[in-house]
Amino acid sequence: MTSEKFKIGWIGLGKMGNPMSKQILKAGYPLRVYNRSQEKTKALETEGATSAATAKELVEKTDAIFIMVSNDEAVSEIFNQENGIFSAEVKNKIFINASTISPELSISLSEELKNKNAFYLDAPVSGSVKQAEDATLVSIVGGEQSIFDKVKPVLEAYSKKAILVGENGVGNAAKLAVNTYLGILTQGLAEIIQFSRTKNVKTEDLMEIINNSALGSTFGKIKGEAAINENYNAAFTLEHLTKDLRLAQNSGFDKPVGNAAYNTFKNAEAELGAEDVIAIIKKLS
């Protein structure tokens, strides 16, 4: 089976799942979607997708099934609930889990699917809503080379790069490393903005200096502008970053700078969780 013949299933139409699944439609793949909120599936139906009433129905009517939900608990529910994935016949199906979850859960799912003669890739993405809308995400993949090769063209519908980094679970481990770095960068940016303001340095001037230096980055430009405008509408919520930092801790991360970032975000989660990650600047003031 080649990717050109795949019937694609997509589970999870949240902030990331919605624009990512649209890219698959744009690439010309037949797409069937499932989401707990039927309103979101109806919106995609107007763009050419079909919908499924349950995850079981979706699996039975597609070849390659993408999953993009918020956490370990949501992934486990999708697989194990009544009319969930494991209630369907999964033989020869390929499951691509784009959710950021623990490496341990990915390994467990991959083994259970292998026992059912199915295939699994962990394929979390680096990037946020804008990159999903622009099809410039980076897919970080763990699994078998042969399965990766089959679905790589589909991954590239929403990714500027799809990288196989190792066996099942390694993709998720790499994503947790990336997001720990993101937490460190976010706290660092917030801290220097706060410091510079105490010394009468305008944030606009500070960011112009940084963005035109060797330290300049897309991340710095986007989050610096958000800080200048005090725009904390979430592209990536603070609670989701905190969840990823917690997963890294639970997977064995124990280094001083990353630990400090985790503690800062953990302490801000209850108050600022629904806001963008750069809202951490309010907790540091």
> What pLDDT shows up at residue 43?
87
pTM: 0.94
Phi/psi zone of residue 190: left (φ > 0), alpha (ψ -120 to 50 degrees), beta?
A: alpha
Binned average pLDDT, 10 residues per bin, the chain of 285 residues? 76 96 96 91 93 97 97 97 97 98 98 98 96 97 98 98 98 98 98 97 98 96 97 96 98 98 98 98 91
Annotated catalytic residue within 150, 175, 223, 243: 175
Query: What are the structural domains, with CATH classification, of the chain?
Result: 3-166 (3.40.50.720), 174-283 (1.10.1040.10)
> What pLDDT shows up at residue 4?
59
Query: What is the rounded CA–CA span in Å between residue 254 and residue 176?
Result: 13
CA distances from 191 to 68, 197, 219, 244, 264 (A): 32, 10, 15, 21, 11
> What pLDDT shows up at residue 180?
98
- Please say if 56 is a catalytic residue: no
Q: Using alpha carbons, select from 126, 2, 138, 149 the residue that is nearest to residue 63.
A: 2
